[in-house]
Structure 1
Amino acid sequence: MNAITFDRPLMGEPMLPRTTYRTRSRFGTFLIAAGLAQADAEGLDEGVATGFYADRAAGVVVTATSCDRPLFFDECEALAQFMQLDLVLLRFDPLQGASFDVLLNGSPHWLCRFLAWRRDGGDIWLVPAQASGPFFRLNGEGLVPFEGAPYENGYERYAGIIRAIERPSFEGEF
């Protein structure tokens, strides 16, 4: 097995910036809630500490940062191109909560400003912060795009959105 280094060549600094504790806690619970990792899985702690978790079986890599848009796009594009997987970037802001950016494998364009949405016990969905756009279901099988919304009305949309501001959990309450 080849070791993957995330240090920038010739500079020696990490390719992925270190994340804050609050961002790491949301990142870990998001991976578990999405079904990409188990709480006792090997490599989860290391992945959470580095802000990077790849699941080749699901065909997705998930990264986390507390940087604002558009920071971190170049590093994630290089990572997605190297890994040849879909990429989900969790951005955590202590006041705004968690939002997500998606880069599909082979696409040059980012899909930005998605929110986590979930019914109690259901899969994690990434829904657009605005009313229109693609919807993505994320689970152990990967990132699956959908045209239609997973909710029926505005109340269900609002009730299922998880920002994880105060509590790091991504468990659905709706």
Structure 2
Amino acid sequence: MNMITVQRPLEGEPLLPHPAYRTCRTLSRVAAFLSATGLSRDSVEMGCPSKEGFYADQEAGVVVTATSCGRPLFFAECEALAQFLQMDLVLMRFDPLLGASFDVLMAGSQNWLCDFVAWRRNGGDIWLVPKQASGPFFSLTKEGLDAYEAAPYSNGSERYAGIMRAIERPSFDGGF
């Protein structure tokens, strides 16, 4: 990381500029995702994107942002943001054809954990589970981002049902 990247917020420039590739659909999905996790407590804020281009919850110690770009685009900007705020970061990548996937950068780490999908137990919290069968599992609530080694489901059918519950409705609310 160079000094220009670190000093930008101190000079009044936004850390994450408003890129033209952020579509209204992506912003509405991340707003719904924040609402489903309980991170966003202000419904007025959910109606429009923040002028910074990300949502940071100091109490939870997590930053959530979104893009419609594929990997590895937007990693460098998010790394600078996470380092500047010293928080965990969740990057939602939304593709209208493929749906939403998530990348996680834990505070103090330089290694991205990539390609997670939303999972939800009926009436429960939002989890980020790897698309592949192995890897860490993350619970994302208003208390923050917690990593677990064990899956929140006990078998493949519960995994599938939870993923479908989380993505079946565009609002990520998990209801039927």
Aligned partners of 2:105 and 2:112 also within 8 Å: yes
Residue deviations 1:50-76 (CA, integer Å, cap 9, x gap) = 541000100000000000000000000
Alignment of 1:48-127 (within 5 A): 51-127=53-129
Give 1:83 shift: 0.5
> CA, structure 1 residues 143+115, in 2 after alignment: closer, same or farther (shift >3 Å)?
same
Structure 2 residue ranges without an equivalent (≥5): 1-9
Instruction: Say which SS state the counterpart of residue 68 (structure 1) adopts.
Output: coil
- Match of 2:28, as an amino acid? S
Q: Distance in 1 between matches of 2:132 and 2:46?
A: 32
TM-score, structure 2 length as denominator?
0.85
Instruction: Say which SS state the counterpart of residue 161 (structure 1) adopts.
Output: helix
- Match of 1:96, as an amino acid? L
Write 1 or 2 for the structure with the bigger share of helix: 2
TM-score, structure 1 length as denominator?
0.86
Alignment of 1:7-86 (within 5 A): 15-18=17-20, 19-38=22-41, 40-41=43-44, 43-47=45-49, 51-86=53-88
Sequence identity (%): 63
Instruction: Say which SS state the counterpart of residue 31 (structure 2) adopts.
Output: helix
Which among 11, 14, 37 is matched to residue 6 of structure 1?
14
- Match of 1:36, as an amino acid? L
Instruction: Say which SS state the counterpart of residue 43 (structure 2) adopts.
Output: coil
RMSD between superposed Cα atoms in Å: 2.3
Q: Distance in 2 between matches of 1:63 and 1:98?
A: 12
Q: Structure 1 stretch 26-35 or stretch 47-56: which is displaced more?
A: 47-56
Give 1:40 shift: 1.9
Aligned partners of 2:17 and 2:52 also within 8 Å: no
Match of 1:157 in 2: 159
